[in-house]
């Protein structure tokens, strides 16, 4: 029994011997949070007075300035659950692809713990949110502690500890400072927007520091018990994994001749815009009595005559597949995955430029052509842009075509044809829904095809997104190994 107790006591001893300063800091954060929680629960008057005074001061400062409110909303979204869950999920999948299951497990446990602590404590304390003179934002649930402050501290801190080894030493301190500033800004925006008291935010930071400290030092203990050296936290959790988790360690130059590539893309952008402008002006104002005029008149009417509740609902969902949020989400999922698998920035650059070029070409040509919407009921109401070309359709074509161009030559598995099919089906579905809803003419669809074909073709010639495949680059995980990803979490718990 004595031997068993000694074995059980050994990890605590190692932890205390090597991390006494860290334990003191973690304990201090925990004690400070507990004290703050107690003061909030007993409604200590000085704390309540300070909370309400700060809330009223920020409300008077921020409420009159709508532009400032917009900026604060954008910053506060960086600490919201959608962004944090996306970041952690993409990082976990990337780490599993790069065969770093221990770090993936660390992110999962740390992130899930933060998700559990926030609503649990909110329910336990039951504190109402601030009531200010001029409400400028709203948030569901209770107030203490701030979920944004807690979540941003935990998520960004955990990601920093995991990916510090992938950074050059000279960039590590600036990265730590940058994350600290970001977490501080997220917390301050919650106070400035009037959805949290200052004590809520302080509690979120303290609890986040305590939980992140516990999980980080537990990971260090894990390494210690497996005979691995325990680095300082400024080196990250797993320094030897630096090369493996670096985004593109084998790529010295993204483009061989970046200046000439920029010049070619600028010239090409102007030519594509010219083609769009010429076609758009013709079909909008100079095609009377032609086939294009008949098509643009009859097709919207044909769709308008067939409106019904079911088709209208279906068309609404199809339209959503081509809006900015959906296209951005697809890009933000695909780009990190392709970077993790093939360790090259060029395919990511190809997709990013596809979307930037599509957006700028769409906005410029829509403004220049200024075509009115079809003369039928517009189910989406008044839109801020004109009809030609369709931004929904162009964005859908560009993103799925770019993905198909990257995936098709990089694998020989059957599922590559799924992306080819999506590059056809998704634009057709979005185009049909947009015309059904009376938002676009058929020639707006043609303009979107013209934009996408010319721009993606130009990018393919200039960027050459699959050059690394021709040079022999292989994925970090082979096709036949994809099924093994499900076993990585189980392996993580085994001794080396």
Note every long-range contact of 351-355, with CB atoms under 8 Å and residues 24 or more positions apart, other chains counting: 351/399, 351/402, 351/403, 351/406, 353/265, 353/459, 353/463, 354/398, 354/399, 354/401, 354/402, 354/455, 354/456, 354/459, 355/327, 355/328, 355/331, 355/395, 355/398, 355/399
State both tokens at 96: 């599993």
Is 232's pLDDT higher than 90?
Answer: no
Q: Residue 196: left if φ>0, alpha if ψ -120 to 50, beta else—which one? A: beta
| Confidence tier at 482 by pLDDT (50, 70, 90) | very low
Three-class SS state of 105: helix
| 395-405: average pLDDT | 94
For the stretch 307-336, pLDDT in tens is 888 998 998 998 888 888 888 889 988 988
Buried b (16+ CB within 10 A) or exposed e, 454-487: bbbebbbebbebbebbeeeeebebeeeeeeeeee
Query: Could you give the CA distance from residue 47 to residue 44 in angstroms, rounded to a whole number?
Result: 6
**Beta-carbon count within 10 A of 414 CB:** 7
Q: Are 96 and 342 in contact (CB under 8 A)?
A: no
Can you give the pTM of this predicted structure?
0.78
Question: Is the separation of the CB atoms in 186 and 76 below 8 Å?
Answer: yes
Rounded Cα–Cα distance for residues 100 and 245 (Å): 8
Query: Would you state the pLDDT for residue 251?
Result: 65
* pLDDT, tens digit, 9 for 90 and up, residues 48-91: 888 888 888 888 888 788 888 888 888 888 888 888 999 999 99
pLDDT at 276: 94
Whether omega for the bond prior to residue 145 falls within 30 degrees of 0, making it cis, is yes
Provide the percentage of residues in the chain whose pLDDT is more than 90.
29
């Amino acid at each position: 029994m004595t031997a068993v107790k000694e074995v059980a006591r050994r990890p605590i001893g190692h932890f205390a011997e090597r991390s006494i300063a860290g334990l003191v800091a973690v304990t201090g954060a925990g004690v400070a949070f507990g004290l703050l929680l107690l003061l909030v629960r007993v409604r200590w008057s000085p704390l309540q007075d300070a909370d309400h005074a700060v809330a009223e001061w920020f409300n008077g400062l921020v409420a009159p300035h709508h532009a400032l409110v917009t900026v604060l909303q954008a910053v506060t979204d960086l600490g919201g659950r959608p962004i944090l869950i996306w970041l952690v999920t993409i990082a976990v999948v990337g780490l599993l692809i790069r065969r770093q299951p221990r770090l993936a497990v660390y992110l999962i446990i740390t992130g899930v713990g933060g998700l559990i602590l926030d609503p649990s404590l909110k329910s336990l304390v039951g504190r109402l949110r601030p009531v200010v003179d001029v409400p400028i934002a709203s948030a569901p649930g209770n107030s203490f502690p701030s979920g944004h402050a807690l979540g941003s501290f935990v998520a960004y801190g955990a990601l920093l500890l995991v990916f510090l080894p992938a950074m050059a030493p000279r960039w590590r301190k600036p990265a730590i400072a940058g994350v600290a500033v970001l977490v501080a800004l997220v917390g301050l925006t919650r106070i400035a927007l009037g959805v949290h008291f200052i004590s809520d935010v302080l509690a979120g930071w303290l609890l986040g520091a305590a939980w992140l400290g516990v999980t980080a030092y537990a990971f260090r203990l894990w390494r210690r018990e497996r005979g691995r050296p325990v680095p300082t936290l400024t080196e990250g959790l797993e320094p030897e994994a630096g090369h493996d988790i670096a985004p593109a360690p084998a790529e010295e130059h993204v483009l061989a001749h970046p200046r000439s590539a920029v010049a070619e893309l600028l010239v090409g952008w102007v030519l594509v815009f010219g083609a769009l402008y010429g076609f758009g002006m013709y079909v909008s104002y100079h095609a009377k009595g032609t086939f294009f005029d008949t098509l643009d008149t009859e097709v919207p009417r044909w769709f308008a005559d067939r409106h019904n509740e079911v088709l209208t609902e279906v068309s609404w969902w199809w339209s959503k597949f081509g809006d900015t949020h959906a296209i951005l989400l697809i890009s933000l999922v695909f780009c990190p995955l392709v970077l993790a698998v093939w360790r090259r920035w060029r395919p990511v650059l190809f997709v990013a430029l596809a979307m930037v070029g599509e957006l700028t070409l769409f906005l410029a040509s829509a403004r220049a052509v200024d075509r009115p919407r079809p003369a039928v009921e517009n189910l989406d109401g008044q839109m801020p842009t004109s009809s030609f070309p369709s931004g929904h359709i162009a964005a859908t074509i560009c993103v799925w075509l770019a993905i198909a161009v990257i995936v098709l030559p990089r694998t020989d598995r059957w599922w590559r044809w799924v992306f080819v099919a999506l590059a056809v089906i998704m634009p057709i579905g979005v185009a049909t829904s947009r015309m059904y809803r009376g938002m676009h003419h058929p020639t707006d669809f043609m303009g979107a095809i013209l934009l996408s074909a010319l721009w993606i073709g130009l990018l393919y010639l200039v960027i050459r997104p699959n050059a690394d495949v021709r040079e022999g680059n292989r994925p970090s995980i082979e096709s036949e190994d994809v099924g093994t990803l499900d076993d990585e979490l189980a392996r993580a718990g085994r001794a080396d």
